Amino acid sequence: MSSITKLPPRKVQPITDDLPGWTKVEGDPSMTTWVEYTAKDESMIAGWWTATPGTYHAKYASWEFVHMIEGKVVITAKGEDAVEVGPGDAFVIEAGFDGTWEIKEPVLKHFTIRLK
């Protein structure tokens, strides 16, 4: 068993349904998720996510690290200022996030989610 796992981009079966905790609130955005890695103890996952323009309301149960590859998104947590992210940006969404993802331009992001 190697201590390094190389992830080939989007080589697994995609999930084309909206993720749990995500609800369309404006427009008709769609998302696709590729989970390419799950830790043996199921404490984290990593993969790719794409989305088309529109707005989702999202609630996060877990912490997520994001590296934006393409697109532009305005993320607004309830009661906080909006944050615009785009290509090259890296950021963390904390567990408990409750707010919107306004997808301005089609998105491609690489993510890591801590599940426990």
Confidence of residue 51 (pLDDT cuts 50, 70, 90): very high
pTM to 2 decimal places: 0.90
Contact 109, 85 (CB under 8 A): no
User: 1 pLDDT exceeds 70?
Assistant: no
Phi (first) and psi of residue 88, to 5 degrees: 90, -15
Confidence of residue 41 (pLDDT cuts 50, 70, 90): very high
Architecture category of domain 22-114 in CATH: Sandwich (2.60)
- Which of 75, 86, 81, 78 has the alpha carbon at shortest distance from 109? 86
Confidence of residue 29 (pLDDT cuts 50, 70, 90): very high
The whole-angstrom separation of Cα 42 and Cα 115 is: 7
Q: Domain ranges in the chain? A: 22-114
**What dihedral do alpha carbons 38, 43, 111, 94 form, nearest 10°?**
170
SS3 state at 37? strand
What are the pLDDT digits (tens) for 84-103?
Answer: 999 999 999 999 999 999 99
